[in-house]
Amino acid sequence: MAAADEAVDVNQVQPRIQENHLQSSVSEKDGSADSDALGSKDTESHKLFRHGGTVPSAICLSKAALGAGMLSISSHCAEVGLLYTTLALMIGAILTLISIRMISTASIHTSCWSYEDICEELFHPAMSLFTGFINVCNCLGSSAGYLIVCGQVFQVLTGASRQMVQLFIVIVGTCICMPLSLAKHVSFMRYLAMISVLALLLVVVVVIVVFGRDGPDQTVDPDAIMFGMAADNSLGSGSMAVFAYMNSFNTVVFAYNNQFNVPQVTGELTPAPGLKRASWVGLISTGLCFSIYLTVSVFGLLAFGVGENQKESLILSLLPAGQEHATDPLLILCLIAVMFSVLTCLQFHIFPVRQFAAYAFRKYRSRDGDEPDVVWAGIPLTRWLDIGSALLAVTLVILTAVVVSSLRAILDFVGAFAAAYISYVVPPLWIIQIRRSQPGFSWFSREICGCLAIFALGMFFFLFGTFTAIAGNK
């Protein structure tokens, strides 16, 4: 918002911001000595990729978004066309920038680094619990989508049966996802995030190579490029067409969705959280996501067309017709890179689940985070509960990925039901509540009217988008 810089001055917010901003929200706000030591050590370093730096924070935030959405956006582009997809990506990018700025403003103003704590500070614990529940649905659903992608990669690499794919998902989730889910800080993943972003860029390169090698798909013509399957009415008419267009935007909302990590990323900025730096983090991460999504949409549509060659994800589309499994070395390398990337992305979705669990446990134990905690085996009980919630979250993700096989269905639903609420419903309410406590508040100011407009749009995505996601994937 235009007035945010004037209304929120980092030097005027509560003094506890200086002592709290390096703490992980999953530690019940009571922090730990090693967290402070890590912050002091990295603050002294002026390296570009230091802990809490702008660039690594932006990479982590972009990695929270880049994943399964990128792999499925091409199939939606084949349905609704490049014109609609480009417009949706542009609108999604603008809304994401505004949303990230709102969340950062609320985090800095309240000195809270999780959705639950911000909601309690500005509204009521009941809203914290409801918002936390929606956020958990968002993150668990997204994480399940990433494991489904891993299963698809394994199937394309080996030609394995459905039962073997399910077993592979269980093994990967248990041996890789569970250990990685125990990291204390989001920025701990910054090096893995950078590598995984580069890995996803390899997917873009492979799609371009396929297009350059084989040329445009036989179903591609100017009308198909611009309007997709709607060009020859193969998309259908009436409600089915509406469902297709809305689900395409649901995927865009999901593809950009990284707002659940914004409070924690903002709190980990060093030497202190600031709205200007948080805005730069959002701009870099959103710009990177937009560039990759648009490139994949264009070349995915050109390479695989609008017919049967365009599967529900690029992983399945890249497998040549008639082959049971991949044999091309570049494709095999690409698939391995995708698996590594989505497994890294999954970890960023576990952090908000742990934050909600930490909040719920803190309320159950009637703790305010100031008194000393019980220590077991040299580790505070808070940390033990954090570990337990992380492992339980990954277990639920594994079970969901084993039971649900359709990547597209789960992404459409999560993008509409959970991502829209987290991204566009809650943040404007925070800003309105903050401004109401300040002198000169007016419901007719430009900023408040903008917040109300985004809230209304978010509710539309939340309600109608959820309906179309369910009805359109039956």
Q: Residue 376's domain is classified under what CATH number?
A: 1.20.1740
Tell me the average pLDDT across 416-441: 91
Residue 236: pLDDT band with limits 50, 70, 90: low
How confident is the model at residue 283, as a pLDDT? 97
Contact 346, 179 (CB under 8 A): no
Contacts with 130 (C-beta within 8 Å, 6 or more apart), sequence order: none
pLDDT the model gives residue 105: 96
Range of 293's domain?
4-471
Number of domains in the chain: 1
| Overall average pLDDT of the 320-329 stretch | 84
pLDDT at residue 102, as a whole number: 97
pLDDT given for residue 37 in this prediction:
36
Q: Which amino acid is residue 164, in one-letter code? A: M
Q: Which helix (H) or strand (E) holds 468?
A: helix 466-471
pLDDT at 36: 38
pLDDT digits (tens, 9 = 90+) for 53-111: 899 999 989 988 888 788 889 888 988 899 999 999 999 999 999 999 999 999 999 99
**In this predicted model, what pLDDT tens digit does every residue of 347-404 receive, in sequence order?**
888 988 998 998 888 888 877 656 677 888 878 888 899 999 999 999 999 998 998 8
Taking residues 231-254, report their average pLDDT: 74
**Selection from 31-45, 126-140, 192-206, 444-458 with the highest mean pLDDT:** 444-458
Of residues 224 and 287, which shows the higher confidence score? 287
* CA-wise closest residue to 155 among 166, 144, 146, 141: 166
Taking only the tens place, the pLDDT of each residue in 19-63 is 343 333 333 333 333 333 334 444 434 466 787 889 999 998 998
Q: pLDDT tens across 141-182, in order?
A: 888 888 988 998 999 999 889 899 999 999 999 999 999 888
Element (H, E) at 30: none
Q: CA separation (Å) from 462 to 94, 228, 327, 386, 410?
A: 18, 26, 42, 30, 15
SS (H, E, C) 410-440: HHHHHHHHHHHHHHHHHHHHHHHHHHHCCCC
Note the pLDDT of residue 7. 40
In this structure, what token pair is assigned to residue 344? 């890294």
